[in-house]
Structure formats: C-alpha cells, structure tokens
C-alpha cells in the first residue's frame, strides 16, 4: 500500500521559493494499479522522486506498507527501499551484460550467490515473456523487450510496490500495449501495488484501476476509473473519453452529450437523439469500455434557434449536455472526486 499524507516539496531559488508539491494526500490500496497524470510542470517528476526519497519532502509522510520512509535515517531508508521496484522511462541496461545478467545484477550486488541470482533472473524473465532471450544483449532486443527486461530487474528484490515513470513514452502504441499487459500481469500474479506516472491517457484507459490528475503540485481530481469517467464535464472525464471539436457556422450550435451504461443503453440514447428530428445531427462520437462500464460522448450540431429546446429535452431525459468550452454542469451533491449515484451495471 502507498500512502501520501499532506506531502509538500519546496525548492528555494535565487528568485524565491517554488512549491513543487503542495499538500498531496493519496492512498493506493494493496494490489491496485493507480495512474498519476498531468501536464508538463505539474510536479510528476518531483512526486516520483519524493516517493523513492531521492528527494526528501519538505514535510508530510510517504508510507509504504505503513512505514513512513520520510522519517527514517539514511541507513534504515536504504533497507526499506527494497520494498520499491522502479521502472524508468529509459531502461539503462548494461550493454555488456545479457538480459539475464542485467536482471541478476541487483541480486548479486546485494550478496546473493551467482547461481541463485541467475535462477531468480530466469524466473522473472519467464514472467515477462522473455525466457528465450536470457542470453541476448540489449542491442539484440527491441525497445519493448528492453523495457520488459527493466520490469523484470525491478522485480528482482521482491518489492511490494512497483513505481513506473513514463514506462511507455518512448514506445509505439503496439509495443506500449504489450508492456502494459506485462505490468498488469505482474500486478495480478504477484499482488503488487503499482503506481504509474504518465502523460498518456491511453495508458490509464488500458491498465489503471484508478487515476489522479496532478496540476500545479496539487491533486485536483482523483478516484476509481468508473467514478471519474462518469463525472461528466470534468477534465479527467473529457481526457479519458476524448472527442474532437469541429467548427460550425453561426447559424448552428454545438453540444456535447455524455452518458454511461449505468443509466442508458446506446440504443436509448440514439432514439432520444433521433426524436429531435432533422434540426439535430451527430457530428462525432466516442464509445469506450472502461472498468467494465460503457461510456460515450456525442458531439451534436443543432440549428441555433433549436438550441434551448434540444438542451432542455435531453437534460429532462437525464442526459448530461454541455457546450464545448463551457464550465462543467453542476449537479446536486457532486464532489470533485466523486459522482453520486447507483452502482454501475455491466456494459450492455
């Protein structure tokens, strides 16, 4: 389990202090996969360095399995770091060592006999699907295979937590899917708690159980994927269910309609839109299945004079309707990190 409690990191510069992390509080339960997303400069790199205590937080707690690493002296901290496996954006394998030797390296450095370390390395390479490449050198491996060797190396010390810092940013999407499948397999097989720092929403959609949005050093939204995607109009919901915005003329208006299988089937939504008649057309649409929940967004183009009627009709039916660029529609009792409502049913 990962627990961050009011975590702050302040850097002092010649021009004044900079608060890189400003009161981060977050819990990632055992065996969960959690994504941290955010724009450049949001504090993601500082957060990962504070999690590993490569940067000492200014204040707050960093707890791994209940132990506050931020409160430990350096000698004890070095021992506790064995609980954390780290997968980097750039794998940094030893070019002169085989894949098996790269995985075994941290074990031999810690004093494990070479034969035992090699046997453990072969087990881990089999887990990540590279048992037949143990004698291959990094130059003989693809980028995705090198990243999988990096994952195996991160698991060598039998950590309880796996931190992944932009693990797919240098890979094409087909290779990224393979790497993410390995991370999910490792999570399920070993029961590891996984935290992924990424700027790619496709990573969150494929592998994460929950997600947090980091902006200017603060978590502005957080929750399980099912909860976040149905917080219609929020920044995370819009990013997870992307929808292109196309220009329209002054005589026509643009609307966005959002829904999930917790409330509507696609057939019901399409019938509601068809009942609006010829003044309304679907310009674009996106459908995704995330965490077992079918979610969708449609972009409508309507005649300007019919705009108010269409909005009223669809909202009365229970659909979320917004105009592109407008503030998210307020809902009674809604909270930034949650959407009240019934438990979503399986995707229809």
The pLDDT tens digits along the chain (348 residues) read 999 999 999 999 888 899 999 999 999 999 999 999 988 889 999 999 999 999 999 999 999 999 999 999 988 998 888 889 999 888 889 999 999 999 999 999 989 999 999 999 999 999 999 999 999 999 999 999 999 999 999 999 899 999 999 888 778 888 999 999 999 999 999 999 999 999 889 899 999 999 999 999 999 999 999 999 999 889 899 889 888 766 655 567 889 999 999 899 989 999 998 888 877 888 889 998 888 889 999 999 998 888 899 999 999 999 999 987 655 444 333 333 333 333 333 333
Q: Does domain 235-322 have CATH number 3.30.70.2190?
A: no
Query: In angstroms, rounded to a whole number, what is the distance separating the alpha carbons of residues 78 and 203?
Result: 31
Report residue 240: phi and psi, to 5°. -75, -30
Q: For residue 297, list its beta bridge partners.
A: 258, 286
Boundaries of CATH 3.30.70.2750 in the chain? 235-322
Residue 270 CB burial class (10 angstroms; 0-12, 13-18, ≥19): middle
- Which three-class secondary structure string do you get for 196-222? EECCCHHHHHHHCCEEEEEECCEEEEE
What is the CATH code for 2-222?
Answer: 3.40.50.300
pLDDT of amino acid 15: 87
The Cα–Cα gap between 172 and 174 comes to: 6
Please report the pLDDT score of residue 170 as a whole number.
Answer: 74
- Position 245 scores a pLDDT of 64
d(CA 27, CA 110): 30
pLDDT of the residue at 343: 36
pLDDT at 249: 56
Residues in the chain, total: 348
Q: Residue 173 has what pLDDT?
A: 86
> Range(s) for CATH 3.40.50.300 in the chain?
2-222
Closest C-alpha to 61, from 27, 85, 10, 38:
27
CB 172 within 8 A of CB 144: no
* Cα of 233 vs its chain's centroid, Å: 19
Structure tokens at 307: 């705009």
Q: Between the CA of residue 128 and those of 100, 153, 175, what are the distances in Å?
A: 12, 10, 14
SS3 334: coil
Q: Show the tokens assigned to 238.
A: 């819009």
Report the C-alpha gap between 136 and 272 in whole angstroms: 59
Q: How far apart are CA 185 and CA 158, in angstroms?
A: 15
pLDDT at 246 (0 to 100): 66
- Over the range 150-159, which residues count as b (16 or more CB within 10 Å of their CB) and which as e? bbbbbbbbeb
User: Would you state the pLDDT for residue 199?
Assistant: 87
Q: Which of 24, 22, 52 is nearest to 36 (CA)?
A: 24
pLDDT attached to residue 341: 34
């Amino acid at each position: 389990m990962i627990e961050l409690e009011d975590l702050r990191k302040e850097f002092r510069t010649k021009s004044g202090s900079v608060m890189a992390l400003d009161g981060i509080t977050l819990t990632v339960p055992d065996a969960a996969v959690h994504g941290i997303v955010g724009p450049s400069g949001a504090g993601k790199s500082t957060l990962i360095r504070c999690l590993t205590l490569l940067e000492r937080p200014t204040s707050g707690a960093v707890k791994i399995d209940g132990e506050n690493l931020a409160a430990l002296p350096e000698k004890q901290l070095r021992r506790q770091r064995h609980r954390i496996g780290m997968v980097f954006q750039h794998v940094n394998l030893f070019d002169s060592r085989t894949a098996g030797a790269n995985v075994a390296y941290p074990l031999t450095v810690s004093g494990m006999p070479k034969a035992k370390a090699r046997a453990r390395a072969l087990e881990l390479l089999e887990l990540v699907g590279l048992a037949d490449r143990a004698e291959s050198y990094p130059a003989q491996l693809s980028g995705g295979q090198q990243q999988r060797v990096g994952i195996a190396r991160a698991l060598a010390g039998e950590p309880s937590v796996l931190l992944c810092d932009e693990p797919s940013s240098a890979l094409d999407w087909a290779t990224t899917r393979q790497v993410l499948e390995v991370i999910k397999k490792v999570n399920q097989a070993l029961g590891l708690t996984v935290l992924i720092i990424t700027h790619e929403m496709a990573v969150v959609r494929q592998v994460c159980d929950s997600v947090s949005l980091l902006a200017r050093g603060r978590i502005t939204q957080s929750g399980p994927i099912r909860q976040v995607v149905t917080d219609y109009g929020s920044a995370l919901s819009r990013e997870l269910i992307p929808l292109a915005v196309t220009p329209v003329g002054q005589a026509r208006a643009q609307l966005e309609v959002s829904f999930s299988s917790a409330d509507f089937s696609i057939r019901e939504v399409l019938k509601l839109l068809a009942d609006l008649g010829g003044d309304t057309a679907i310009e674009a649409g996106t459908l995704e299945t995330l965490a077992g929940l079918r979610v969708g967004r449609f972009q409508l183009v309507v005649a300007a004079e019919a705009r108010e009627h269409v909005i009223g009709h669809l909202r009365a039916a229970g659909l979320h309707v917004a105009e592109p660029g407008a503030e998210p529609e307020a809902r009674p009792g809604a909270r930034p990190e949650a959407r009240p409502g019934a438990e979503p049913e399986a995707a229809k």
